[in-house]
Structures are given as C-alpha cells and as structure tokens.
Amino acid sequence: MTGDEIIALSKKHTISEWAAQGAVDPIPVARAEGIYFWTPEGKRYIDFNSQLMCVNIGHGDPRVVRAIQEQAARLCYVTPGGMTTEPRARLGAKLAEIAPGDIDVFFFTNGGAEANENAFKIARAVTGRQKIVARYRSYHGATAAAMAATGEPRTWSQAALPGFVHVLDWYHGVDRETQTTDQALRHLEEVIQLEGPSTIAAIILESVTGTNGILIPPDGYMQGVRALCDRYGILMIADEVMSGFGRTGEWFAIDHWKVVPDIMTMAKGITSAYVPLGAVGIRRTVADHFTDKPFPGGLTYSSHALACAAALATIAVYEEDGLIARAKERGRLMAELLADLQSRHSCVGAVRSIGLFGVVELIRDRQTRTPMAPFNGTSPEMGALGRFFRREGLFTFVRWNYFFTNPPLTISEAELREAFEIIDRGLDITDGAVT
C-alpha cells in the first residue's frame, strides 16, 4: 500500500488515541531499523522519542526478532493460571536479579496501565486500606484505576473514581518557583495526615516523571517519600513504565536514589515494545501476603510466552551491548547539547535530562517566563516547530510548550549530533516569538 492508502484506510476504520479523529495526521511507517524508520515512499525519520518512549534498544534488533520467531514456532501461549513455561520462569528470575533490593516476585500484564491496576489491588489487599495517593503531574495509564491515579489533564474527561487523592509536585511550571525537597515532603505529609494515614494503601509516583516533562526528583525526595511510607504503613509504588530499562542511565530510575519501593511497575522497555508486556514487581515480604490468601487479579494473556521470550532477549541485548552504561555516557553528551541550545536560543526556558530522558521547555517572554504554549494547550509557534521537525525527518513528541529528546539507547554520537542540528535550526522559528 502507499502511504496515502494506509492513512486513508486507517482513518476510516480505526481510532487514534487521545485525539479528535478529524485532526489526526499519522505518519505511515513501513519499516524501521536502529534509530530510523521509513515511510512506504522511503522518507527517513530519526526516531528521537523511541516511538512512545519504549523502543530503548532501537528497531529491528535481529537477536530479539529471532527469539520471538523461535518461541512462536515452539509455543506461543498457555493458560497462565494452571500452567507455566520456561520463558516465564526465566524472566521472573532475571527480573529479580536486576530489580532493586528484595523485589523478586513478578506478576505479568499486557502493559503499563494493567501493571498499575494490579499494583493498586495488591496494595489494597495487603494493607486492608483503600486510598491511593498520586501526584498531579503524572500519567499512570488509561484503564479505570490507572486513569484515576493519573493527575494530568487526560484524566479530566473520565468518570472520577473514589479513593484517589492528588498532591502537588515540587515542580510548578517553567514560570513558577520550584519547591525544595523539604517543602514538597511537608506538603505530602500534611496531605497524609489530613486524609488519615490508616486510610491510605499506597503512594504511587513515577521515579522520573515522563510525559509531564521529565521531572527529576531533587536529592532526598525519593528517600523522604520512602521514610513517610514507612512511618505511616503506606506502600510505595514506583511507576517505572517509562523511566525503567536504562532510559535514565540505570536499570531503573529509582536506582539513582538507592530507594527500594514496595511495588514497582514496568512495561515499554521490558521488551522494547517488540511484543506488548508489563510487569508488577513485588517485594518478597509484600508478596508473602498471598502465600495463603488468593491473589486478587488475573489476565488471559498474563505471562504470555511470546512476550516473556521477547523480554528475555531484550534484557540480554541491554547486557551484551552495555546499553545501561552507554545511556549514562551518551546522556552526558546529550546534557551538553541541551545546555548549548539553552545558551544560544532565547526561546529555551529550561532543559532537563537524566541519561537519555530529556526535555526542552520553551518560553515566549524572558522576564515573565510565560510558556510558549499554555498548560494543556498549543500555540501557532509550537505547531510550526512540530511541522518543521516532521518536514526535516525528526520524529519526537511536541506537547504544550515542550518537546522531548528520548532517542534509543543505541544512538551513536554522530546520530545524536545530527538530531540536535535539526533541533537547533527549528528553534530559530520559536526564537522569533520571544519578547
């Protein structure tokens, strides 16, 4: 099919996520390799967002493709309740090796939202409490409870569920002051006290917030949340769906602060999206609750053999190619390139990155630091920047007043510089709007 035929048929018969369907303008993609993908007509794009921040090992790694083919030929699926398989057994053991602390029991799901749904069920069953505390600037998935935990605008149009409480982040927008660790933790503790500690099952947080702007916790924040959870008997859930599997230069972002959450949710990079898979990692002491009590969840495709085989092969690629250390090293270069953009472009109000997880926030006024597009909105300038990136063959997410720099961890220095050269030219457009 031609690109236009693919678009026309897709738009006629399929729904695109989070968008008014009339405004959807997809890129037709025919193939992908490494950090690049191509349309059927051969236009090449740099994948500077690892698609949905998930193709961490890059596209088309033959080792993972082969593992999927071999597993498909041998055995795709068995019922997850009454049977088990070698890929499932090996994947549980492998994740226990790389997950922090004594997280060594895993429940497999189809993706991140289901992982968070099950994390909440586990926390409620173990504590006997109901409430889940989450932060406003967060995304935890689009199923009912994951959406209720989500604090950003995608949750506004959904039916509110009882039992979810939101707290402020330390970060308040590019035009406002940032709170200190102490202030943020005091706010969190006050909310815990006002809600009643004995009613709160868990606090969920993205270890480094992803879609809502690569928010890297200040030193002491994660340790402080851990201490509050311990003080009040609340379980700590680290959502590592986007920040896990090397993205930040550690296996998991929470490893930067040497904190062990009680429950850790994963997806995306676990298979680099070659096959859908999510997982809930549980500390041994928490998982022991289910030794003599039934586990309160199940999914037809839990522990799917094809997905488990893909995850094992993907984790082997991270290890064989040293991709976690490489993300850290390339991340240093990316931080320099980001700082360079900030020093030369008046529209750049802030840059943040950790490993290969980065963001550029644009402002239109150097004094007031007014964002280039309003919260939850867009502007002609951000639209023009997005169109420029697309025209120039750079794919990344442009959201509100910011855009991401999240390439596959395999990216070479030359490829990273090539992408930043396009970004550099694009920012001349937005510089023009700065007063």
Provide the binding-site residues for ligand PLP, judged by CB under 6 A: 111-113, 116, 139-141, 206, 210-211, 239, 241-242, 267
Question: What is the smallest separation between the CB atom of 39 and ligand PLP, expressed in angstroms?
Answer: 24
Question: Which of 255, 381 has the CB closer to ligand PLP?
Answer: 255
Question: What is the smallest separation between the CB atom of 145 and ligand PLP, expressed in angstroms?
Answer: 12
Question: What is the smallest separation between the CB atom of 240 and ligand PLP, expressed in angstroms?
Answer: 8
Tell which residue, 117, 128, 102, has the closest CA to residue 265.
117
Question: What is the smallest separation between the CB atom of 421 and ligand PLP, expressed in angstroms?
Answer: 28
* Beta-carbon contacts of residue 156 (< 8 Å; ≥ 6 apart): none
Judge contact between 115 and 280, C-beta under 8 A.
Answer: yes
Question: Which of 282, 337 has the CB closer to ligand PLP?
Answer: 282
CB atoms within 10 A of CB 99: 26
Question: Which of 139, 388 has the CB closer to ligand PLP?
Answer: 139
Q: What is the 3-state secondary structure (H, E, C) of the chain?
A: CCHHHHHHHHHHHCCCCCCCHHHCCCCCCCEEEECEEECCCCCEEEECCHHHHCCCCCECCHHHHHHHHHHHHHCCCCCCCCCCCHHHHHHHHHHHHHCCCCEEEEEEECCHHHHHHHHHHHHHHHHCCCEEEEECCCCCCCCHHHHHHCCCHHHCCCCCCCCEEEECCCCCCCCCCCCCHHHHHHHHHHHHHHHCHHHEEEEEEECCECCCCCECCCCCHHHHHHHHHHHHCCEEEEECCCCCCCCCCCCCHHHHHCCCCCEEEECHHHCCCCCCCEEEEEEHHHHHHHHCCCCCCCCCCCCCHHHHHHHHHHHHHHHHCCHHHHHHHHHHHHHHHHHHHHHHCCCEEEEEEECCEEEEEEECCCCCCCECCCCCCCCHHHHHHHHHHHHCCEECCEECCEEEECCCCCCCHHHHHHHHHHHHHHHHHHHCCCC
Question: What is the smallest separation between the CB atom of 51 and ligand PLP, expressed in angstroms?
Answer: 11
Question: Which of 142, 325 has the CB closer to ligand PLP?
Answer: 142
CB atoms within 10 A of CB 65: 13
Question: What is the smallest separation between the CB atom of 52 and ligand PLP, expressed in angstroms?
Answer: 6
* Beta-carbon contacts of residue 396 (< 8 Å; ≥ 6 apart): 48, 49, 389, 403, 404, 405, 406
Question: What is the smallest separation between the CB atom of 106 and ligand PLP, expressed in angstroms?
Answer: 16
Question: Which of 113, 254 has the CB closer to ligand PLP?
Answer: 113
Question: Which of 141, 249 has the CB closer to ligand PLP?
Answer: 141
Question: What is the smallest separation between the CB atom of 142 and ligand PLP, expressed in angstroms?
Answer: 6
Question: Which of 118, 379 has the CB closer to ligand PLP?
Answer: 118
Question: What is the smallest separation between the CB atom of 42 and ligand PLP, expressed in angstroms?
Answer: 30
Q: At what angle do helices 413-431 and 323-344 cross, to 10 degrees?
A: 30
Question: Which of 132, 433 has the CB closer to ligand PLP?
Answer: 132
- Measured at CB, which residue is nearest to ligand PLP? 112
Question: Which of 141, 349 has the CB closer to ligand PLP?
Answer: 141
Question: What is the smallest separation between the CB atom of 276 and ligand PLP, expressed in angstroms?
Answer: 7
CB atoms within 10 A of CB 318: 22
Question: What is the smallest separation between the CB atom of 211 and ligand PLP, expressed in angstroms?
Answer: 6
Question: Which of 127, 265 has the CB closer to ligand PLP?
Answer: 265
Question: Which of 395, 420 has the CB closer to ligand PLP?
Answer: 395
